[in-house]
């Protein structure tokens, strides 16, 4: 498994997050940079290794991507709910 992905997971789990962007341009730059790094890193993982639980011996690359997609969908839904002035449902309906 990639050293970069393992390092990122460890930093996040220890509470070390990236600094918050100050404006929309910085936010978009952070998104583009993180996406590019993730895609480049994922491209180095052989297909036969994508389901091995090698990130902290618990989750696979496939699990990590599913988790990221799920969070992305939640964020988009919360944004969609808040645009017309509604309160976003947190946690989302059906969360257990």
pLDDT tens per residue across span 47-73: 999 899 887 778 898 998 898 888 888
pLDDT band at 86 (very low <50, low <70, confident <90, very high): confident
CA-based torsion, 10, 52, 76, 92: positive or negative = negative
DSSP lists the bridge partners of residue 55 as: 59
Domain membership flag for residue 52: yes
pLDDT of residue 41: 85
Interval 15-42: pLDDT, tens: 556 677 888 898 888 888 888 888 888 8
Host domain of residue 20: 3-82
Residue 60 Cα distances to 37, 54, 66, 92, angstroms: 18, 6, 10, 25
Domain count, the chain: 1
Cβ 4 vs Cβ 11: under 8 Å: no
Domain membership flag for residue 90: no
User: What mean pLDDT do residues 6-21 have?
Assistant: 59
Domain membership flag for residue 91: no
pLDDT of residue 1: 43
């Amino acid at each position: 498994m990639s050293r970069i992905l393992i390092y990122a997971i460890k930093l996040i789990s220890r509470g070390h997050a990236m600094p918050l962007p100050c404006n929309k341009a910085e936010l978009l730059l952070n998104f583009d940079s993180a996406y590019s790094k993730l895609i480049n890193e994922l491209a180095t993982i052989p297909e036969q290794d994508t389901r091995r639980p090698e990130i902290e011996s618990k989750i696979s690359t496939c699990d990590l991507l599913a988790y990221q997609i799920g969070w992305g969908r939640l964020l988009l839904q919360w944004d969609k709910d808040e645009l017309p002035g509604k309160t976003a449902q947190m946690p989302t309906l059906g969360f257990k």
